[in-house]
Structures are given as C-alpha cells and as structure tokens.
Amino acid sequence: MQTTNLKVRRNGRDIALECAWVGDKAAKETMVFLHEGLGSVAMWKDFPHELCTRLGMRGLVYSRYGYGKSTPRPLEERWDATFMHNEAQNVLPQLLAGLKIERPWLFGHSDGASIALIYAATYPLAMPGVIAVAPHVFVEPLSIESIEVARDLYVRSGLREKLGKYHNDVDSAFWGWNDVWLSHEFRDWNIMDALPHIQAPTLTIQGEDDEYGSPVQVENVAREVERGELLLIPNCKHSPHRDQPEIVFDAVEAFVNDYRE
C-alpha cells in the first residue's frame, strides 16, 4: 500500500500523518478508516481495499499521530483523557479538509470507532453513515484488565517485536495508548452523552467474545443513536473484520446500500 504524508496542526505544532488511498480512486464516495489503539495503515492489511472494491468507493486509510509512519510521539509526552475528542474534533476535520473529502462514510475500529462516534456527534450532518466496530463508550473493568495483560505481553513477550513491523516507533504507539488507558483520570472517560446527538445511520458491530468490552458497549450505541443498528457476531473477538471478515463485508454492504445518497 503506497503512502504519503499530510501535515496538520496538533496542540500547536505541525505533525505529519501517514495516508493511503485504496479502492476506486475515481469514485465519488469515500470511506475513511480509523484504526484501533495499536493500529496503523499497515495493520489494516487488505481489508479497506477489499471493502471499498465491493462498495465501489475509494477509501482513505491513515495512521494517527504516534502510529505507523506518522510523526512519533516523544516518550515524555503523555496523552490525557481527551485524546479521542482531540482526534475527532481537531485532527480529523483538518485531514478531511486538506484532502478535500466531503461527507465521508466512517469506518472505525475500537478507539477509532469511538473517534468516529465523537465526530458524528460533533458534526451530525457531515456524513451519510458510520460503521463502528467494537467501540468504547465508557470504561469497563474488562477493558482495563485486557490492557494490563497487553502491557505485560509487551514487556515480557514478543508483542513489541510483532508490533514493530507496523510502526516506525513502536514505543511511541504502544505507550501512548497503554499509559492513557491505564491512567486514573481515564477511568471516568465516557461518551454516552454524545450518542443521542448522532443523526447519521450507525451500524455497530462487535464480537460476542470481545476481550476488550462487553456487549453493553454496543447495545448502548444501538439504543441511544436514533438510527442505530446492531450486529453481534458469535465466535468472534475484538477484531471482527479479521476474525469474521465475510460477515462484516456482507453487513456493511447491506447497510451502506440502504443509506446511500
């Protein structure tokens, strides 16, 4: 996947974001992919291209600050509990404006799905629809326990080497995510009050065996969003687009075709 960089402003300084186009680059509709807490452009692998090809769309995949080939986060810099709001309300709008993307579909996974929901609540008329895969809307003990396990695996096993294939500065990516999620201030993070402001149709997908969140997360989204739809997938963990890709392809295709403008 060929990537380029786009400069944006974040907290008063210029940063470069790794971006890649997939699918039909001449298509009028665009799907923007927002990765999970340890993700990057490369970690999506072929999923965005395959989905956009099926939908006849072009897709934008990008790595957030600190991830992939984007500007790394200095290790002394600590993210606070507003980091997903900052991405949704500051960085993402700049990225879309810089690339002249209007009314994109959003496909987010995990933290990226939460960012997509925050963006949709902040700019309710800015997109035709949202696909939120394994979003977080509040912090559960289950999430904290799994993130603590990830920290131990990173320090004591081969997780650091595995993730290093996808990030130029793997410590920037891992500790930025892990430190903020395990901070005391983040225990009160909650976006439940944003959900009723989402006007775009929203398909929420989660694996029944998700180790990072219980079904109550997605049930809240489906209940609070006016045009919310829910898909729980059996025999599936935190990454349905990897564990059960055909189910996800079919569900997203049906959802998008129902709401195309």
Q: What is the pLDDT of residue 194?
A: 98
What residues have CB less than 8 Å from 59, skipping those under 6 apart? 21, 22, 23, 30, 31, 32, 33, 48, 49, 51, 52
Q: What is the pLDDT of residue 75?
A: 84
pLDDT digits (tens, 9 = 90+) for 200-241: 999 999 999 999 999 999 999 999 999 999 999 999 999 999
Instruction: Give the Cα separation of 104 and 23 in Å (integer).
Output: 14
What residues have CB less than 8 Å from 13, skipping those under 6 apart? none
Q: What is the mean pLDDT of residues 78-107?
A: 96
**Measured between alpha carbons, how far is residue 217 from residues 12, 17, 228, 258 in Å?**
33, 29, 13, 24
Instruction: Give the Cα separation of 81 and 86 in Å (integer).
Output: 10
The pair of three-digit structure tokens given for residue 42, joined into one six-digit string = 């490369």
Of 126, 1, 134, the C-alpha closest to 63 is 1
**Measured between alpha carbons, how far is residue 237 from residues 100, 153, 155, 206, 210 in Å?**
35, 18, 23, 8, 4
Output the average pLDDT for the chain.
Answer: 96
Question: In this model, does residue 2 exceed pLDDT 80?
Answer: no
Under 8 Å between Cβ of 105 and 29: yes
Q: What is the pLDDT of residue 25?
A: 86
Q: What is the mean pLDDT of residues 91-113?
A: 96
Task: Find the length of the chain.
Answer: 261
Question: In this model, does residue 173 exceed pLDDT 90?
Answer: yes
Domains of the chain: 4-259 (3.40.50.1820)
- The enclosing H or E element of 31 equals strand 30-34
Q: What is the DSSP track for 91-151?
A: IHHHHHHHTT--S-EEEEETHHHHHHHHHHHHSTTS-S-EEEES--SB--HHHHHHHHHHH
Model confidence band, residue 11 (pLDDT cutoffs 50, 70, 90) = confident
The pair of three-digit structure tokens given for residue 8, joined into one six-digit string = 């944006």
Q: What is the pLDDT of residue 192?
A: 98
Q: Which of 8-12, 14-18, 91-95, 134-138 has the weakest average pLDDT?
A: 8-12
Amino acid at 206: Q
Question: In this model, does residue 1 exceed pLDDT 80?
Answer: no
Token pair 């470069």 in the structure block, residue: 16
pLDDT digits (tens, 9 = 90+) for 15-62: 999 999 999 989 999 999 999 999 999 999 999 999 999 999 999 999
Q: What is the pLDDT of residue 106?
A: 98
Question: In this model, does residue 3 exceed pLDDT 90?
Answer: no
What percent of the chain shows pLDDT beyond 70? 100
Model confidence band, residue 177 (pLDDT cutoffs 50, 70, 90) = very high
